[in-house]
Every structure is written in structure tokens, then in C-alpha cells.
């Protein structure tokens, strides 16, 4: 493997991140050169310098191999999280080394969990940098870099194939360059639309932009300590529900629907299942809250239930209520939403509805096979015949996912956490959801976690964002030979 060539492409990603740091510098300067100005400026210069060295001293040597493409993708994610720490560490405040690492990983993986007790204390420049990390991570640091690398040839296809899961590519019937452009158009368009609507709903421009970026990335970072509950606005909540749910749908289907293509949202079995789960869970949670007398009216119960279900199943993690005081029945349903999450090809994390649908179909096929041993049973998803390799990959992924949740829960209890916090905290981090229950509930944060637990949770976030096996490959050194 040509390590120098890998470093060259990782350096391009660093230059791209440095550009966003400079945008944060501009926000800081426009806010009166607040206390984040020099930390952000120094961080941008340092990141740009580190990214520029490989461009100067390493010659481009042909196309990337699949192995090198994998190294670029995983290396870019890890390096992005490292350089993302720079502004936090230089600024100080609540950011020690572990807190800065946790916050940076949480941002780039769009988990949206935080260690900060007072988010509103952050200067605007630092607030924007938090949102920038999560917005970059929503589309993917490598996918963003592909937009500004028009002359990579086959290397672009190699990188996009590594970055995007096989499930996500099923509804993209275009060349690599077109896929990247579609992702960008849908992502930027959704961010702009959400920002404008939030401004019209009463937010100031800065808060509207930050929450629009966060919602489109399904992150959940907010500029307020109380998250969306701070605004107490049904209109703002409705806009965010729409943004979160749309961001949890395959971007290729969104593009196809807007442009009048045949393979659109209305024909998608996965999308119907996704929206059906949202509707069903919202009704059940609302009924539970109303029956328990937690809210005075059924409409108020449904308002909070719908928002929290949409927030968790899209892995955004915004909050309008303290879900720790909700009924056990409602909590179990929300945990289910945090496990399943959105659709492949979106900015959401988790197991994905696609895999849930395929798992159910495999179980039904198995039952049918037992009744008719000689039958040849084929499984289809959205009309596409699923090969055995795909079905095997779905099974292995779900098993690996559950194993990591068990390990995360075990580590949490060893660190002194109660079982609820340990288990739901692992779900929140591995699924890139953000809030869990117990000590990491919707109105709490991860700041009180032991330093080792923060580091382990950050590792779970990376596992979730890289769909487990992308990161696991690093631990098998023989694979590199």
C-alpha cells in the first residue's frame, strides 16, 4: 500500500476542514472577534499546514486501489476528529483532552451527544464550529472532499464505494460524480430550506442556521442548553420534525421524487415502513403519556410524542421534554426507535429500516421453508431480488451490532453506571442517536461520565458511523499485507 498517496488524499480532507474553520473564524469576527477568534484562526492555520505538506511533497501516483481507498476513508475520519479537537483545546473552558475528543467525535459522527453543562456560554464562533463538524459529518468528510476533487478519475469511484454502504447505493442508478452531486444538492437544499423556515418561525438567523445544519445532518447539536424545549414553539417543532424525517430518508429517492423519476418515495417499500413505524410509535407513545396524565390533553401528548419519536428514529436527538419521566412503555418504544433508526442512504445512523425489513422477510422465508422444504424462496426489497451475499451481510451486521451493544453495556456497568444508563448510552453512541435514558437522558449530557467511558463511547460512535466493519478492519493488521 502506498502510504504517501494515502496521506496526500487525507491531506486534501484536512484542507477542506480548515476551510470550514475559516468560516467559523468569520462568524467569530462578525460577532466582535469573540474569544473563539484566535483559537479558531490558529486551528485553521495548523490544520491547513498539516494538510498542505502532503500536497507539496507527495506526487500523485496513479489511481487508488481498493485497499488504499479504504485507508483514505477511515484515515480521513480519524484525522478529522483529531484536528476537530484543536479549537476546543485552544479555547479551553470545559474542554480538557478527553472532553475535546468526545465533542469532536460526536460532531463528525453526527451523534450530537455533548459533555458541556453550559452550551450557551460558548462564543458564536465556537458554536458555529460545533455545527460545522456535524454538518460535514452528515454527508461524510470524504464525500464532501469528492465534490472538490473533479479530476480523480477511478479514484473517486473507489472512495465513494468505500464510503457508501451497499444498501445505500441500491437506489442510486448514476455514475459516481452524479451521485456525489445529488447528495450535495439534496443536503444543501434541505439545510437552506430548514434554515429559512426556522427564521420565519421566529428564530434569529444564527440559531436558524445552526439548527438547520444540525437537523439536516440528523445530529441534534443545539445552541441552547434546553435544546428545542428552549423555544417552546409548536411551529418550530413542526418544521424540525419535517426536516428530521426527510433527512432520515434515502437521498436518492428524495432527488428522484423531486425530479419526477419513477423510483421515488411513493414506490419505496422501505420508506413506507419507515414512516409507518414513526406513525405507529407516535400514536402508542402519545396514548401512554395521556393515559398516565403526564400531559393535560391528547394533542399535547401527541405533540411531544411525535417530536421525540421523529428525533430518535432519525438519530437527530433534539429534545422538547425530559423523557426520563415518561412511562416505561413509552421509554421501551423510544429505545426501539433508537435501535432501528432511519433508511440507508440518509444521514441517520443505527441498524437502518432496510435491514429490519430484510430481517423480518428472512424470518418469514425461514418459516415458509420449514413448511415447504423443497420450495425455492426469493426475497425482494423494493422489487429488487436480494442476493445471498446481501442477506448474509445484513445478518452479520445485526449480530455484530448487538454484540457491540452488549460490550458497551458491560463496560458501562464496570465503570459504575447503572444498567439503564450503560445500555441506552451504548445505543445512543453506537447508533449516533445522541441522548439515551438515565444519566444520559434527553435533558442531560455525558459530562459526568468517567474519562474511560467517554473514550469508549467515542469509539462506539466511530464504529456506528463507519458501519462497524469499516473500523474493525484496522484491528486486523494482516489485512494490510
Over residues 23-61, the pLDDT tens digits come to 999 999 999 988 999 999 999 999 999 999 888 877 766
What end-to-end distance do the CA atoms of the chain give, in Å? 8
Looking at residue 168, its pLDDT comes to 55
Looking at 216-225, 302-311, 375-384, which range is the least confident one?
375-384
**Stretch 341-351: mean pLDDT:** 88
- Alpha-carbon distance 131 to 222, whole Å? 8
3-class SS of residue 381: strand
pLDDT at 176 over 80: no
Task: Note the pTM of the prediction, 2 decimals.
Answer: 0.91
Which range has highest mean pLDDT (150-159, 188-197, 264-273)?
188-197
CA dist list (Å): 396 to 7, 210, 377, 400, 424: 32, 37, 20, 6, 22
pLDDT at 328 over 60: yes
Looking at residue 261, its pLDDT comes to 79
Residue pair 295/331 in contact by the 8 Å Cβ criterion? no
Confidence of residue 151 (pLDDT cuts 50, 70, 90): very low
- Alpha-carbon distance 250 to 242, whole Å? 15
Looking at 65-69, 145-149, 426-430, which range is the least confident one?
145-149
Looking at 75-84, 149-158, 448-457, which range is the least confident one?
149-158
Which tens digit of pLDDT belongs to each residue from 206-237?
Answer: 999 999 999 999 999 999 999 999 999 999 99
Looking at residue 162, its pLDDT comes to 47
CA triplet 358, 343, 266: central angle to 5 degrees? 90
- Alpha-carbon distance 127 to 134, whole Å? 11
Query: Which cell is 276 given?
Result: 409507518
Element (H, E) at 385: strand 384-385
pLDDT at 82 over 90: yes
Looking at residue 140, its pLDDT comes to 77
**Residue among 350, 317, 349, 288 at smallest CA distance from 436:** 317
pLDDT at 477 over 50: no
Q: Within its chain, how far is the Cα of 267 from the centroid?
A: 25
Looking at 10-14, 79-83, 174-178, 272-276, which range is the least confident one?
174-178
φ, ψ at 381 (rounded to 5°): -135, 120
**Residue among 466, 472, 469, 477 at smallest CA distance from 73:** 466
Residue with the three cell numbers 501516483: 61
Looking at residue 313, its pLDDT comes to 96
Return the higher-pLDDT residue of 170 and 371.
Answer: 371
Q: At what angle do helices 451-465 and 388-414 cross, to 10 degrees?
A: 170
φ, ψ at 384 (rounded to 5°): -100, 125
pLDDT at 145 over 60: no
Radius of gyration of the chain (CA): 22
Query: Which cell is 10 given?
Result: 487525507
pLDDT at 148 over 80: no
Confidence of residue 347 (pLDDT cuts 50, 70, 90): confident
pLDDT at 146 over 70: no
**Stretch 100-107: mean pLDDT:** 96
Which tens digit of pLDDT belongs to each residue from 270-297?
Answer: 999 999 999 999 999 999 999 999 999 9
Query: Which cell is 141 given?
Result: 468528510
Looking at residue 60, its pLDDT comes to 66
Return the higher-pLDDT residue of 357 and 55.
Answer: 357
Residue pair 128/211 in contact by the 8 Å Cβ criterion? no
Based on the number of CB atoms within 10 Å of its own CB, is 225 exposed (0-12), middle (13-18) or buried (19 or more)? middle
Looking at residue 120, its pLDDT comes to 92
pLDDT at 138 over 70: yes
3-class SS of residue 105: helix
Return the higher-pLDDT residue of 6 and 101.
Answer: 101
CA triplet 280, 264, 314: central angle to 5 degrees? 40
Q: Within its chain, how far is the Cα of 428 from the centroid?
A: 11
Strand pairing class (384-385; 380-381) = antiparallel
- Alpha-carbon distance 304 to 325, whole Å? 13
Which tens digit of pLDDT belongs to each residue from 257-272?
Answer: 888 777 778 888 999 9
Based on the number of CB atoms within 10 Å of its own CB, is 26 exposed (0-12), middle (13-18) or buried (19 or more)? middle
- Alpha-carbon distance 210 to 370, whole Å? 53
Q: What is the residue-averaged pLDDT of the chain?
A: 87
Looking at residue 170, its pLDDT comes to 57
Looking at residue 454, its pLDDT comes to 95
Amino acid at each position: 500500500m502506498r502510504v504517501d498517496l494515502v496521506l496526500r488524499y487525507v491531506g486534501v480532507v484536512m484542507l477542506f476542514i480548515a476551510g470550514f474553520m475559516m468560516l467559523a473564524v468569520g462568524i467569530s469576527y462578525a460577532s466582535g472577534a469573540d474569544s473563539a477568534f484566535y483559537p479558531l484562526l490558529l486551528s485553521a492555520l495548523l490544520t491547513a499546514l498539516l494538510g498542505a505538506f502532503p500536497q507539496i511533497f507527495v506526487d500523485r501516483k496513479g489511481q487508488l486501489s481498493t485497499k488504499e481507498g479504504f485507508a483514505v476513508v477511515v484515515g480521513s475520519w480519524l484525522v478529522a476528529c483529531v484536528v476537530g479537537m484543536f479549537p476546543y483545546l485552544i479555547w479551553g473552558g470545559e474542554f480538557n483532552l478527553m472532553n475535546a475528543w468526545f465533542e469532536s467525535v460526536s460532531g463528525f459522527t453526527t451523534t450530537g451527544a455533548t459533555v458541556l453543562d453550559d452550551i450557551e456560554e460558548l462564543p458564536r464562533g465556537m458554536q458555529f464550529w460545533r455545527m460545522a463538524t456535524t454538518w460535514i459529518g452528515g454527508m461524510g468528510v470524504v464525500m464532501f472532499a469528492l465534490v472538490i476533487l473533479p479530476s480523480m478519475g477511478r479514484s473517486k469511484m473507489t472512495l465513494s464505494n468505500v464510503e457508501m454502504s451497499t444498501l445505500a447505493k441500491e437506489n442510486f442508478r448514476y455514475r459516481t460524480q452524479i451521485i456525489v452531486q445529488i447528495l450535495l444538492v439534496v443536503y444543501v437544499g434541505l439545510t437552506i430550506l430548514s434554515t429559512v423556515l426556522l427564521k420565519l418561525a421566529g428564530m434569529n438567523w444564527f440559531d436558524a442556521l445552526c439548527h438547520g445544519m444540525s437537523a439536516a445532518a440528523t445530529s441534534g447539536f443545539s445552541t441552547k442548553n434546553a435544546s428545542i424545549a428552549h423555544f417552546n414553539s409548536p411551529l418550530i417543532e413542526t418544521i424540525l420534525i419535517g426536516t428530521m424525517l426527510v433527512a432520515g430518508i434515502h437521498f436518492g429517492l428524495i432527488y428522484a421524487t423531486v425530479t419526477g423519476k419513477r423510483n421515488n418515495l411513493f414506490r419505496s417499500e422501505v420508506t413506507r415502513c419507515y414512516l409507518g413505524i414513526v406513525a405507529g410509535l407516535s400514536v402508542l407513545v402519545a396514548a401512554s403519556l395521556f393515559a398516565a396524565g403526564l400531559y393535560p390533553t391528547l394533542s399535547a401528548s401527541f405533540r411531544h410524542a411525535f417530536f421525540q419519536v421523529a428525533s430518535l428514529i432519525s438519530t437527530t436527538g433534539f429534545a422538547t421534554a425530559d423523557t426520563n419521566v415518561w412511562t416505561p412503555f413509552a421509554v421501551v418504544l423510544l429505545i426501539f426507535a433508537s435501535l432501528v433508526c432511519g433508511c440507508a442512504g440518509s444521514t441517520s445512523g443505527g441498524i437502518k429500516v432496510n435491514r429490519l425489513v430484510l430481517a423480518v422477510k428472512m424470518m418469514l422465508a425461514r418459516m415458509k421453508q420449514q413448511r415447504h422444504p423443497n420450495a425455492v424462496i426469493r426475497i425482494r426489497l423494493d422489487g429488487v431480488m436480494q442476493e445471498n451475499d446481501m442477506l448474509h451481510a445484513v445478518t452479520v451486521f445485526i449480530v455484530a451490532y448487538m454484540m457491540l451493544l452488549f460490550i458497551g453495556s458491560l463496560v458501562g456497568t464496570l465503570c459504575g453506571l447503572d444498567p439503564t444508563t450503560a445500555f441506552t448510552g451504548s445505543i445512543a453512541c453506537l447508533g449516533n442517536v445522541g441522548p439515551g435514558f438515565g444519566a444520559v437522558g434527553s435533558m442531560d449530557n455525558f459530562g459526568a461520565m468517567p474519562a474511560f467511558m467517554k473514550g469508549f463511547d467515542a469509539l462506539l460512535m466511530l464504529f456506528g458511523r463507519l458501519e462497524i466493519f469499516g473500523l474493525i478492519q484496522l484491528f486486523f493488521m494482516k489485512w494490510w499485507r
